């Protein structure tokens, strides 16, 4: 039998050993650079912008913070009280000569001394010191002692009657000493005497009250009075205390 002839098949196309290429993806548009990228590329401009921002922020803070900060209340200025009006300066009286004798040595005389500490009373002794008592009465009645101070205060004595307030003043004259008076009236507590300088006859207006016995002064100073009331006031007197006035009373 005849052999069937085989149909010849067309040759197969050779298989390529190369992998097929993937289709190319469509190109995506690039994103614009960020602010940070731009700042990195241009650091000088970035520094200027930052500096400007700091300045602006500082100005804003300077305007806002004071407005938000509460203002403390103003401290009131203390008002000082008005200064007291100084007292008029006392005119110092001066005389050309001792006064004439005007008292009666046979009568009794007392002197009431008014001070800020109180009042004390002195009995004057015209029987043993007529000139000194006459001088003291004249000055007191003429207002010479009004407003003068006690310029010397020590444990044993208090002294005043100086128009200068220093211990060196006088009424413009001096009177003779009457030392015999201290023979009868020794310089003990409560005695009133006439102060003087080195010259025995230099006494004028200054007088003192003995607070502690000082008999060593007997025969050297004139005794012309003694405190009969208010010795406790004399004990309280201090330097600068003022004699407001001295009132003289005369009796039989």
Q: How many domains does the chain have?
A: 1
User: What CATH code is carried by the domain that includes residue 233?
Assistant: 2.40.100.10
pLDDT band at 22 (very low <50, low <70, confident <90, very high): low
Residue 5 in any domain: the answer is no
For residue range 158-211, what is the model confidence (pLDDT) as tens digits? 999 999 999 999 999 999 999 999 989 999 999 999 999 999 999 999 999 999
Check whether 127 has a pLDDT greater than 60. yes
Residue 156 in any domain: the answer is yes
Average pLDDT over residues 77-104: 70
What's the whole-model pTM score?
Answer: 0.65
Of 65-69, 219-223, 247-251, minimum mean pLDDT range: 65-69
Higher pLDDT, residue 87 or 110: 110
Residue 207 in any domain: the answer is yes
Rounded distance between C-alpha atoms, residue 175 and residue 195, angstroms:
11
Residue 220 in any domain: the answer is yes
Check whether 7 has a pLDDT greater than 70. no
Residue 176 in any domain: the answer is yes
Give the domain range for residue 192: 109-251
Residue 35 in any domain: the answer is no
């Amino acid at each position: 039998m005849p052999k069937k002839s085989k149909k010849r098949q067309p040759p197969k196309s050779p298989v390529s050993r190369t992998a097929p290429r993937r289709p190319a993806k469509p190109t995506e548009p690039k994103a614009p650079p960020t602010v940070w990228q731009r700042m990195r590329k241009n650091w000088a401009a970035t520094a200027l912008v930052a500096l400007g921002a700091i300045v602006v922020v500082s100005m804003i803070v300077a305007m806002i913070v004071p407005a938000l900060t509460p203002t403390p209340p103003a401290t009131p200025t203390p008002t000082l009280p008005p200064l007291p009006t100084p007292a008029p300066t006392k005119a110092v009286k001066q005389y050309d000569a001792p006064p004439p004798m005007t008292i009666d040595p046979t009568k009794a005389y007392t002197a009431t001394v008014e001070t800020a500490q109180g009042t004390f009373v002195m009995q004057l002794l015209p029987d043993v010191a007529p000139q000194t008592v006459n001088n003291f009465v004249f000055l007191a009645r003429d207002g010479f002692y009004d407003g003068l101070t006690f310029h010397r205060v020590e444990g044993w004595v208090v002294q005043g009657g100086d128009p200068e307030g220093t211990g060196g003043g006088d009424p413009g004259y001096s009177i003779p000493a009457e030392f015999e008076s201290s023979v009868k009236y020794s310089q003990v507590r409560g005695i009133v005497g006439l102060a003087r300088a080195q010259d025995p006859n230099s006494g004028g207006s200054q007088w003192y009250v003995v607070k502690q016995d000082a008999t060593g002064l007997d025969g050297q100073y004139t005794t012309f009075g003694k405190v009969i009331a208010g010795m406790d006031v004399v004990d309280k007197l201090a330097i600068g205390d003022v004699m407001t006035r001295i009132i003289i009373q005369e009796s039989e």
